[in-house]
Amino acid sequence: MKQLYTIFIVVLLVNPIFASTISVENFPDLKVTDINGVHHKINSYLHSGKSIILNFSSTWCRPCWNYQNSGVLEEVWENHGPNGSNDVVIIMIEADQNTCEDCLYGQKNCNDFTYGNWSSSFPMSNLDKENQFIADQFNVTKYPSIFALSAKNKTAEEVGQLDLSGWESWISTNKTVKRIAPKINKLSTSFVSKVETLNQEIIKSAFDQEQIKTNLLEIDWQVFPNPCLDQLNIKCDSDINAPVEVSLHKMNGRMVYRRVFKARFFDITFDMTRIPKGPYFLRIRSEDEMITKKILNIR
């Protein structure tokens, strides 16, 4: 049976993706310490003629992971780092103060969630509570937030996820001339209610609309109760031929629960007493198909 869906796209004009230019003179003594204990003094680099790329990310952020694995910044580092023209410094900053350093290397010993091993040839830093002011200096409200700091005019500009040609143009002119928009999955149907909340990732649903394709649409998913008080139950009595990931997320995109099932039938329960009350979204994914549903915790 064919079903029609209305797609709503909401664009909020708060905390724009590309912020206005910031003068680095506002924070003359700012330094970033990487995971090897090396101190990177921002103004020292700029006054020596080196421009800087600061990539504020988090290990639980899918768009951050996708961009990290695109190889764009690795190639910029190869061309312009110490083994190249040596005129650019790149620092990836894990900016969630609640995420431990182990999360940069995989899920083992990670106190939160990570998509994998974030190791790179350029420096990485893991901000703790004492160093959270570094992200605050740049007014970071979403991940990834990528800033280009110009050695020519001593300014910082949030530029987004540039492709290689965009970075090469900026490096040669110290002007951002080409930006790329966040990648939109083909199943996406709306922006989350605040632009900064899902780290430029477009949630694959309009919440009140369930937008998926083929097999998942035909499955009888039971999600109850909703609103929920103590627990949330997710039940599937249908035959599924592929692994299914079930995850619960805050409205800022942060994952709070995640289960992966290889069984064809399952019945699971999330303990809602462990998380604050408020809205969440449930995501059920199998291969390239997805269901998302708005959940309200009222405990």
Q: Structural domain boundaries of the chain? A: 22-173, 208-297
**Nearest CA to 52 among 31, 66, 35?**
31
Q: Write out the chain's pLDDT in tens, 299 residues.
A: 434 443 333 333 333 333 457 787 766 678 999 999 999 999 999 999 999 999 999 898 888 999 999 999 999 999 999 999 999 999 999 998 878 999 999 888 888 788 899 999 999 999 887 788 888 888 887 889 999 999 988 889 999 999 999 999 999 886 544 443 333 333 333 333 333 344 334 333 333 333 333 355 556 778 899 899 889 988 877 666 677 888 888 876 777 888 877 656 678 888 888 888 888 888 887 766 777 788 989 87
Count of C-beta atoms within a 10 Å radius of residue 166: 20
User: Looking at residue 219, what is its pLDDT?
Assistant: 67
Residues 210, 293 contacting (CB under 8 angstroms): yes
Containing 39, the helix (H) or strand (E) segment is strand 39-41
Residue the block writes with tokens 């605050």: 136
d(CA 208, CA 172): 47
- Strand 266-271 with 231-236, pairing: antiparallel
Sign of CA dihedral 35, 43, 178, 74: negative
Residue 22, beta-bridge partner list: 156
Residue the block writes with tokens 């708005």: 294
Q: In what order do the strands lie in the sheet with 231-236?
A: 221-224, 231-236, 266-271
Q: What is the DSSP letter of 94?
A: E
Residues 218, 239 contacting (CB under 8 angstroms): no
Residues 266, 230 contacting (CB under 8 angstroms): no
Apex 17 CA angle, 11 and 21, nearest 5: 140
d(CA 61, CA 53): 19
CB neighbours of 161 closer than 8 A, spacing ≥ 6?
Answer: 63, 67, 72, 144, 146, 179, 180, 182, 200
User: Looking at residue 279, what is its pLDDT?
Assistant: 86
- Indicate if 208-297 has the same CATH topology as 22-173: no
User: Looking at residue 263, what is its pLDDT?
Assistant: 59
d(CA 9, CA 11): 7
Q: Mention the CATH class of domain 208-297.
A: mainly beta
User: Looking at residue 77, what is its pLDDT?
Assistant: 97
User: Looking at residue 278, what is its pLDDT?
Assistant: 86
CB neighbours of 43 closer than 8 A, spacing ≥ 6?
Answer: 24, 28, 29, 30, 154
The CATH code for residues 22-173 is 3.40.30.10
Instruction: Determine the 3-state secondary structure of 134 from DSSP.
Output: helix
**Helical ranges in the chain per DSSP H:** 42-47, 62-68, 72-80, 133-137, 164-173, 215-218
d(CA 117, CA 205): 28
